[in-house]
Structure 1
Amino acid sequence: MVVSLLDAGLGAGLGAIVGLILALTGAGGGILAIPLLVWVLHLPLQTAAPIGLAAVGLASAMGAAVGLRQGVVRYRAAALIGVTGMLFAPLGVALAQRLPAQPLLLVFAAVMAWVGWRSLQAPQGDQGASADAPSGQPPPCLVKADGRLDWTTPCARALATTGAVSGLLSGLIGVGGGFVIVPALNHRTDLGLRQVQATSLAVIALVSLSGVASAAWHGALDWALALPFALGAMLALLAGQRLALQLPAARLKQGFAWLTLAVAASLLFKALN
């Protein structure tokens, strides 16, 4: 595909939107990347998905590096979720190359609607996790007195399952898995909001690496569009992380939930018409 300067500029601008969403929520960049590429640049879903995944992966890696320097990334949990996700992402890519576009759009719309609904139902507090667990039942992954996670068998199993689901979906519909990882960490750990977001970015980076490599191997990645899109996402993420410190987390979650539902409805309309 021959890419014009206008398309490259539009791609960088769209990537900036994705990077800003990643910075503010720790998730959702991939969910918005594909609709933006499909609507604005009129790309087929099979082309848009790996481009979105590449941009989200590079931007997330940059955000995770900042989090590591600040000491808020739970790198052992991120490694377990990420490695498990990397094992399942190629399976998702292989399935995506064999499925027609309309069913993929329907699946994508359904996933987005589920994410938006879950975000509206979730507690809006700043503590992740424990508040989301059933009354009287602590989450499987708890922080010990020394600040480290208590690595029990239920904790490891919960994190590995999260990685498997996020990896499969990242390869299948082109998202880095943050929309699975953030709710899962909120529900299954008692980590604070900043730790959940930073750890999610680290996992997204790992899972996306596997999906992007598989897409490139299959010849499904258009680098001429992917690079400006990724550059815009990376620059916006750096700026957005500073902005996120100034904004209330509860309002950001609610706004993102409604935006996700709106995009899901639009994608459903597009797929059915």
Structure 2
Amino acid sequence: MMLVLGAALGFFGGLFGIGGGIIAIPLLALGFGLDQAVAQGTALVMMVPNLLIAWFRYSQRHPVALKTALQIGALACLTTWLVAHFATRLPPDLMRKVFSVFLLAVSLRILKQLQQAPASTHLPDRKARDLRFMPLVGIVGGSSMGLLGVGGGLVATPIFSGWFGQRQTVAQSLSLALVAPSSIIALMTYSGAHRVDWALGLPMALGGLFTVSAGVAVAHRLPEKRMRAAFAWMILCTAAWMLVKPLVLHSA
């Protein structure tokens, strides 16, 4: 069962350039009775190889300048490490709600832009900002990774595509340069704190290895507008789930 779950999440992660942890964490908490911290640490076991493979596949199709990738990854890792040490002092429920509302706003903004586009496959004009500031997105994504263990790609991808005017698949490639190394830092932190169930995490990681590349291939076959719409609906559903999850867990 864990192999099948890992395979499904691997395909999903490859399609959207994320690790799949946003789905795996609540499934592990609800379906296997893991507490939140262990669920996040166990999901990272699956996420790390999925993200590294997806990053490699996306880079083959959309190479990112090595200097830019290193700057984004370095800032993301540093921010992840710093925020993770302070996150335990913050009210997690409040921060989760703030993050959920932010994702709702981002997804609704993308969907509104797509509705304003012509009926053809053209997207609304995007004003590209100075690309030299792109590495700073690593701070935003790293903050999410450090605070919640997930969400770096969900935050970074809309910034790369909307603010910096990158195509959706290019934006996901840039996001992977941010999330992949920071997920390794997060896994090391959780493992050092004994918050990882390796017996569940390793089969999930193995299952994902067989499907990540297929998800990446499908992503590059979809039209740009359809890909952005799918991504927007995905983060909209994610935000809604994060808002109702406490109610579901309480009733369970």
Q: Same fold (TM over 0.5)?
A: yes
Aligned mates of 1:183, 1:94 — CA distance in 2: 26
Correspondence 1:98-247 to 2 at 5 A: 98=89, 102-103=93-94, 105-107=96-98, 109-123=100-114, 131-133=125-127, 138-141=128-131, 155=132, 158-175=133-150, 177-247=152-222
Of residues 54-63 and 94-103 in structure 1, the stretch that sits farther from structure 2 once superposed is: 94-103
Aligned to 1:44: 35
Aligned to 1:150: none
Q: Offset of 1:69 from its aligned partner?
A: 3.8
Aligned mates of 2:203, 2:99 — CA distance in 1: 24
Does the CA contact (< 8 Å) of 1:92 and 1:171 recur in 2?
yes
Of residues 78-87 and 218-227 in structure 1, the stretch that sits farther from structure 2 once superposed is: 218-227
- Deviations along 1:156-178, whole A, 9 cap, x unmatched? xx323311121121121111611
- Identity in percent: 31
The correspondence for 1:82, drawn from 61, 69, 73, is: 73
Aligned mates of 2:19, 2:113 — CA distance in 1: 16
Q: Offset of 1:127 from its aligned partner?
A: 8.9
Of residues 252-261 and 238-247 in structure 1, the stretch that sits farther from structure 2 once superposed is: 252-261
Does the CA contact (< 8 Å) of 2:3 and 2:207 recur in 1?
yes
Aligned mates of 1:107, 1:15 — CA distance in 2: 29
Q: Offset of 1:87 from its aligned partner?
A: 0.5
The correspondence for 1:252, drawn from 216, 221, 227, is: 227
Quickly say closer, same or farther: Cα 1:244–1:68, change in 2 above 3 A.
Answer: closer
Quickly say closer, same or farther: Cα 1:78–1:191, change in 2 above 3 A.
Answer: same
> How many equivalent residue pairs?
244
Does the CA contact (< 8 Å) of 2:69 and 2:178 recur in 1?
yes
Does the CA contact (< 8 Å) of 1:139 and 1:187 recur in 2?
no
Aligned mates of 1:242, 1:160 — CA distance in 2: 26
Q: TM-score, normalised by structure 1?
A: 0.75
Q: Offset of 1:85 from its aligned partner?
A: 0.7
Letter paired with 1:223: W
> Unmatched 5+ residue regions in structure 1?
1-8, 142-154
> Unmatched 5+ residue regions in structure 2?
none
Correspondence 1:22-61 to 2 at 5 A: 22-27=13-18, 29-61=20-52
The RMSD of aligned alpha carbons is: 3.0
Does the CA contact (< 8 Å) of 1:35 and 1:263 recur in 2?
no
Q: Offset of 1:98 from its aligned partner?
A: 4.7
**Secondary structure in 2 aligned to 1:131?**
coil
Of residues 47-56 and 117-126 in structure 1, the stretch that sits farther from structure 2 once superposed is: 117-126
Quickly say closer, same or farther: Cα 1:230–1:100, change in 2 above 3 A.
Answer: farther
Of residues 238-247 and 208-217 in structure 1, the stretch that sits farther from structure 2 once superposed is: 238-247
The correspondence for 2:237, drawn from 262, 268, 273, is: 262
Aligned mates of 1:29, 1:127 — CA distance in 2: 29
